[in-house]
């Protein structure tokens, strides 16, 4: 493939901004576009993975769903970086907090993304690759959160291929290594960005803590997600 639209994205060249916010849920992408952006145009409806471009405080920004799991975000972020000339992708998602210092409503900024996925094998590297965020985006996100008075925790996260894991003790092993939270996409996003020489960051709202039983109600989740969105939009 060398042209657009792609099999997964109906956008034409020039319809997607240089910075894309990428929640997993396409309906959350729609919410962000309708709530925060002006002059909004829908550029993608293929497979109902909705994508929109508009303006935030006068600056072009796009938002598009990325789906669930590494294969899904791997496809969408690859096409955005390579076929649509996107420079920055900021994942905004949810996660389960597993570290003692992480609680519901916290926003975790993924400095690095451990994974149990085999995604990196495609690169035929002579070792283990460490997927990390782009420091420029990370440092700006920390500063923005401080200015917005939003509590954040910065550190390592786990991008898991399994939501229902047959090994009930698997998360406890990651806690030993200081991993803060578990989600399902960031590692592939970081690898795609590294290979394309582009920028990526993962922001996560802690919606539950499986080892303590903490969880948010639907209304509380909506408020916390809004805080995460505001951090991400400030980076556009």
- Could you give the residue numbers annotated as active site? 208
Q: How many CA atoms lie within 13 A of 60 on its CB side?
A: 11
DSSP state of 218: H
Model confidence at 222, pLDDT cuts 50, 70, 90, reads: low
Listed in order, strand segments (DSSP E) in the chain are: 19-22, 38-44, 51-56, 59-64, 88-97, 107-115, 152-159, 181-183, 199-209, 214-215
The neighbour count for residue 125, using CB atoms within 10 Å, is 9
Q: Is the pLDDT assigned to residue 52 strictly greater than 70?
A: yes
Query: What is the phi-psi region of residue 196: left when phi exceeds 0, alpha when psi lies from -120 to 50, beta otherwise?
Result: alpha
Residues 191 and 206: their CA atoms lie apart, in Å, by 23
Residue by residue, DSSP assigns 154-188 as: EEEEEE-S-SS-S-TTHHHHHHTTT--EEESSHHH
Per-residue confidence (pLDDT) for residue 48, from 0 to 100: 98
Model confidence at 1, pLDDT cuts 50, 70, 90, reads: very low
Model confidence at 106, pLDDT cuts 50, 70, 90, reads: very high
Coil, helix or strand for 201? strand
Q: How many CA atoms lie within 13 A of 19 on its CB side?
A: 16
Coil, helix or strand for 59? strand
């Amino acid at each position: 493939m060398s042209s657009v639209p792609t099999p997964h994205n109906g956008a034409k060249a020039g319809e997607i901004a240089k910075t894309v916010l990428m929640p997993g849920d396409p309906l959350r992408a729609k919410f962000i576009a309708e709530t925060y952006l002006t002059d909004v145009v829908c550029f993608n409806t293929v497979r109902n993975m909705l994508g929109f471009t508009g303006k935030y405080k006068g600056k072009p920004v796009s938002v598009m769903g990325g789906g669930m799991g590494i294969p899904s975000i791997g496809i969408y972020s690859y096409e955005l970086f390579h076929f649509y000339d996107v420079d920055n992708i900021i994942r905004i998602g949810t996660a389960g907090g597993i570290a003692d210092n992480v609680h519901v409503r916290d926003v975790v900024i993924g400095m690095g993304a451990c994974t149990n996925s085999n995604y990196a094998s495609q690169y035929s590297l002579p070792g283990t690759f460490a997927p990390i965020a782009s420091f420029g985006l990370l440092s700006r996100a920390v500063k923005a959160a401080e200015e917005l008075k939003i509590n954040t925790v910065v550190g390592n996260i786990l991008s898991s291929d399994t939501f229902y894991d047959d090994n009930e003790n698997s998360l406890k092993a990651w806690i030993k290594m200081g991993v803060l939270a578990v989600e399902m996409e960031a590692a592939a996003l970081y690898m795609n960005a590294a290979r394309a020489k582009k920028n990526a960051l993962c922001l996560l709202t802690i919606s539950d803590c499986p080892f303590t039983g903490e969880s948010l109600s639907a209304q509380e989740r909506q408020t916390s997600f809004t805080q995460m969105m505001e951090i991400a939009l400030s980076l556009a």
